[in-house]
Amino acid sequence: MKRWMGGCVLAASVLSLSGCSSLLAESASAGAGIAGGAIAGAITDSAAVASGIGIAVQAIARAGVQYHERKIHSEVQEQIAQVAGPLKVGQVKAWKTVLSLPLEPEESGRVAVSRIISSGELDCKEIIVSVEQSGKDALPASEFYVAAICRSGSRWAWASAEPATERWGSLQ
């Protein structure tokens, strides 16, 4: 059984390098369900208990993948906020993500400050973020999002939920 579990871990590791988080999520979920079933089969002969163990292991694996996706999205938002923070209204600057976990492809685009929301004790800016999309056979295209960033000490931080909700679903 250890050998089989090692194969599942290896497969999940290979899939994680592919940059396709939906494939990883489904593969991790399916692999965890199979592994949970194998573990349950070794522990009990009760089909109900075995099913419960399999479902629990599958839910834990899915939650783990979603946790890492949220961390990646937060990392992207932080990187964009750091590029946009020093900009003045009307300035535009390129951004590019460098992800610590390669679960999703690295992205790039431009960010512009459209207005100052507040200044003084609470420094906040409205930004427009483009995410560049280009395929081998397609012309380059951009998706645009409006967000807010605020200064938190010496760093700028993402301060809005809507662009993340539209862009990444409920996994912000």
Q: What percent of the chain has pLDDT over 90?
A: 29
pLDDT digits (tens, 9 = 90+) for 105-119: 778 999 999 999 999
> What's the confidence (pLDDT) of residue 167?
58
> What's the confidence (pLDDT) of residue 41?
62
What confidence tier does 55 reach under pLDDT thresholds 50, 70, 90? confident
What confidence tier does 26 reach under pLDDT thresholds 50, 70, 90? low
Question: How large is the angle between the packed helices 21-43 and 47-84, nearest 10 degrees?
Answer: 150
E strand or H helix at 145:
strand 141-152
- What is the pTM assigned to this prediction? 0.62
Mean pLDDT across 130-134:
82
Closest CA to 61 of 34, 38, 43, 41: 34
